[in-house]
Amino acid sequence: MDVAVKAKPAVRPVPVIKQVGVIGAGQMGSGITHVIALGKYDVLLTDVRKEAVDKAISTIEKNLGRQVAKGVVNEADMKAALGRIQFAPNLDALGDCDLVIEAATEDESVKRRIFQELCPKLKPSALLATNTSSLSITRLASTTDRPEHFIGMHFMNPVPLMELVELIRGIATEDDVFGVARTFVESLGKTTAVSEDFPAFIVNRILLPMINEAVYTLYEGVGTVEGIDKAMRLGAHHPMGPLELADFIGLDTCLAVMQVLYEGLSDSKYRPCPLLVKYVEAGWLGRKTNRGFYDYRGEKPVPTR
């Protein structure tokens, strides 16, 4: 009796990375574009608003100028890096990219919509990465046509200064894809830390509960904003106090990560502090809105509590 043998599904080729697309021109997207262009890759940067891309390129030029002033980068490398960055008017423009990195807001529904629109436009071999700081890589990958070519690539903020990138593989991520992603990240002068695909990965699994606990310390009246930050700067030798750091990250992002931890791990120790929720509901999101745990509208930051 003849037994039918199922043919193995075709394996997607893994590309040599030459051209990279970045989706999202906010703080993270602009920083990622900066280091990739400096790493001698061509970059296509896109956002729903062209003015966001214009602002990002202006920020990149300013930050590269600071690196030149410090002697970290020379003038020729700065000019070459800026010449490698192009505006992509829409997702269709990313069709020839070997790697596309999504750096949109930390909202799973937004990321899913981007992937569903993007995937039909990509060449079959293209790798797809997400810069999510907390969401499931496996779940995001399942919404695409290429879960085997999908990976978490979590850059730290501010990207040009921070040495680390977390790499997170989903359940379907192929070994070759992981290897290419790791080589690419290391070619940017970054060090990789490999995390399993659990809520918030390594850095934010440790960092955000600390920030949340600092907010509880404020909420319960144990210390003031200034007192809490001073205690951690001088008592634990942190370069920045936890509430100042929360403002830098964005209180909406801090809350989103805590919600992912709380819902994903079902442990009450990850419950977001009600005061953090209140600040986000007020639209006081930190530096990006000029008010958070500090008010940034004057000459120097003033505690808001």
Rounded to 5°, angle at Cα 216 from 210 and 219:
150
Catalytic position from the list 102, 106, 148, 166? 166
Catalytic position from the list 154, 174, 195, 244? 154
Angstrom CA distances, 140 to 97, 135, 275, stand at: 20, 8, 30
Number of H helices, E strands in the chain: 11, 10
Dihedral sign (CA 139, 145, 151, 156): negative
237 is catalytic: no
Q: Exposure pattern of 184-210 as b/e (b: 16+ CB <10 Å)?
A: bbeebebebeebebebbbbbbbebbbe
154 is catalytic: yes
204 is catalytic: yes
Catalytic position from the list 131, 134, 136, 204? 204
Q: How far apart are CA 251 and CA 37, in angstroms?
A: 29
User: DSSP code of 289?
Assistant: G
Q: How far apart are CA 55 and CA 11, in angstroms?
A: 40
Q: Are 106 and 140 in contact (CB under 8 A)?
A: no
Catalytic position from the list 30, 63, 131, 133? 133
136 is catalytic: no
The residues that are catalytic are 133, 154, 166, 204
